[in-house]
Amino acid sequence: MIHIAKEEDINSLFSKKRNFYTKEKEKVVRNIIDDVKENKDKALFYYTKKFDNFDVNRQNIKVSEQEVESALKLIPDEEKDVINYAKYRIERFHFAAKPSSFFIEEDGVILGNRVTPCQSCGLYVPGGKAVYPSTALMTIVPAKVAGVKNVYVATPAHNGVVNPYVLYAAHICGVSDIYKISGAQAIAAFAYSTQSVAGVDVVAGPGNIYVALAKKLVFGDVAIDSIAGPSEIAVVADKNANMEFIARDLLSQAEHDEMAGCYFVGLDRKLTKDVKKRFIELADTAKRKDITKVSSKNAMFFYAESVELAAMLIDKIAPEHLEVQLEEPYMFMNMVNNAGAIFIGEYTPEPIGDYIAGPNHTLPTNQTARFASPLSADVFMKKSSIIHYSKSAFFKNARHASKFAEMERLFAHQSSIEVRLNENS
C-alpha cells in the first residue's frame, strides 16, 4: 500500500508511461507492414497461415453467407436477445452524441462546419484471449451511425472459423464484409489494400500490442481511433464502500490481459488493506487465474489522506476506466480531468459499460486519457469549414486581411485581395 499524504508523494509516480511497445516489437510489425504493402495477398496469406493456422486464399478470405447462416443457428434466441438489446442501447447513445453541421450568419458572412462521413472504414475485432461480440457492436455501431458507406471487419479465424457471436453482432448491424485476418497484417491490408482486401480511410478497434503498433505505424496514411494498450481500471472509494464489490470490479479488468493495470485509491486505510487482500485472493483462485495471477502483480493500492489528493492521483494515472464509490461522487468527478469513462456509484460496475450502458467501451489507455476520447461517430466523420462572404461584407472586412498579408510579406496573398478591392476604382 502506498501512502499519499501530500502532493509531492504523487509527482514521482507514473513519471513515464508503461512501455509496452519495445523497439524489437516495432521492428517486427514494421517488417510485416512493409511486406504486406509490397507483396499484398502473398504476404497477407503467409502471415495468416503462420499466426492463425488458416490456409487463406482469395476464395475463402471473407466469411460467406453460408457461414453466417450456420453461425446464426448455433446461437440460442435468448442470447440473440441480449446482443440485440446491447445494440439498441449503444446505437441510441451514439445517435444522441453524433456531431452535426452548423452555420452562423453575420452581416453578409456565412460561416460554419459541414460534417460528413468518411467513405470507408476497417474495424478490428480481437479474438485472442476471449470472444468479443461486444467489441463488434462498439466499433460497427458508431461507424454506421456516422454514415460510413463501406464498413469492413477483420477478426481472427483460428483454423478458418470465426466466432458465431461476432458474426451475429456484425449481421444485425448490416455488415457482410468480414475478413478472416488478424494482427498487424490485417491493419496493413486495410491501410494499403491487397488484391483481396479493400483499402479504407479509417482503421479503428482495439487489439493486442502488435495491432496497436501497426495502427501507430500506418497513421497518416489512414486515420485511426487510438493506439490502445492493455486494459486499466481505477477505483476510488471511501470507508462506506463495499469491499467485495471493489475487489471484484478490479478483477474484472485483471482477467483481460497479463499486463492489465488495476489501481485502487482508498480514503480509508483499513478499506485499502482489505481490498488489496481480497483482490489477491480472488486473483489467485479466479477461473482465468492463468492471467489474473500475473496481472495482479501489476496492481497498485493507495491510501490518500484527502479527496483532493485522490483526484490529483487519478489525474496522474489517467485511467481507461474510473469507478467512483464516494458519498459525493459528482463533486469528485468534477475534480478529475483525465479518465476515459467514469462509472458513478456502487451499482455501476465497469462491466455494465462494457456491454449494455451505451457509451463506447473502446477507450484511451496508458495515460492517453489526458488528451484522447472514447471511440464515437466522430472518429468516422470529418469537418469542412464553410466560408461565404457577400460582396458588401468583403469590402467591409478585406482591408484587415490585406494588411495581414502585407505584414507576413505574402504579396500574392495581398494581391488576391487587392484586385477585388480595386475592382470598382
pLDDT digits (tens, 9 = 90+) for 93-128: 999 999 999 999 999 999 999 999 999 999 999 986
State the pLDDT at residue 22. 82
Contact assessment for residue 9 and residue 265, using Cβ atoms and an 8 Å cutoff: no
State the pLDDT at residue 21. 72
State the pLDDT at residue 115. 98
State the pLDDT at residue 93. 98
**425 — pLDDT class (breaks 50, 70, 90):** low
Query: What percent of the chain is modeled with pLDDT above 90?
Result: 90
Over residues 198-213, the mean pLDDT reads: 95
State the pLDDT at residue 46. 97
State the pLDDT at residue 12. 79
pLDDT in tens, 227-270: 988 899 999 999 999 999 999 999 999 999 899 999 999 999 99
In CATH, what class is 2-16+229-371? alpha beta
Residue type at 125?
V
Question: Please, which residues bridge with residue 383 across strands?
Answer: 115
Q: What is the mean pLDDT of the chain?
A: 95
Domain ranges of the chain: 2-16+229-371, 40-224, 390-421
pLDDT in tens, 283-299: 999 999 999 999 999 99
Residue type at 289?
K
Whether pLDDT at 129 is above 80: no
Over residues 9-22, the mean pLDDT reads: 74
Distance CA 35, CA 423 (A): 58
Alpha-carbon distances of 288 from 24, 131, 204, 257, 374, rounded to whole Å? 29, 14, 27, 10, 27
Q: What are the percentages of helix, strand and coil residues in the chain, rounded to 5? A: 50, 15, 35
State the pLDDT at residue 297. 94
Range scoring the smallest mean pLDDT among 155-164, 198-207, 233-242: 155-164
Q: Which residues contact 7 (CB under 8 A, 6 or more apart)?
A: 309, 312
Enumerate the active-site residues: 320-321
Range scoring the smallest mean pLDDT among 15-19, 202-206, 315-319, 320-324: 15-19
Range scoring the smallest mean pLDDT among 7-21, 54-68, 238-252, 308-322: 7-21
- 94-107 b/e with 16+ CB inside 10 Å = b? beebbeeeeeeeee
**16 — pLDDT class (breaks 50, 70, 90):** low
Distance CA 138, CA 176 (A): 16
State the pLDDT at residue 253. 95
Over residues 170-174, the mean pLDDT reads: 97
Distance CA 367, CA 370 (A): 6
pLDDT in tens, 135-148: 999 999 999 999 99
Q: Exposed, middle or buried, 177 (CB in 10 Å: 0-12/13-18/19+)?
A: middle
Over residues 391-414, the mean pLDDT reads: 96
What CATH fold (topology level) applies to the domain 40-224? Rossmann fold (3.40.50)
Over residues 82-86, the mean pLDDT reads: 98
Whether pLDDT at 154 is above 90: yes
Whether pLDDT at 14 is above 90: no
Backbone φ and ψ for 291, nearest 5 degrees, come out as -95, -50
Q: Exposed, middle or buried, 152 (CB in 10 Å: 0-12/13-18/19+)?
A: buried
**423 — pLDDT class (breaks 50, 70, 90):** confident
State the pLDDT at residue 15. 64
State the pLDDT at residue 18. 65
Contact assessment for residue 126 and residue 155, using Cβ atoms and an 8 Å cutoff: yes
Cell of 215: 495502427
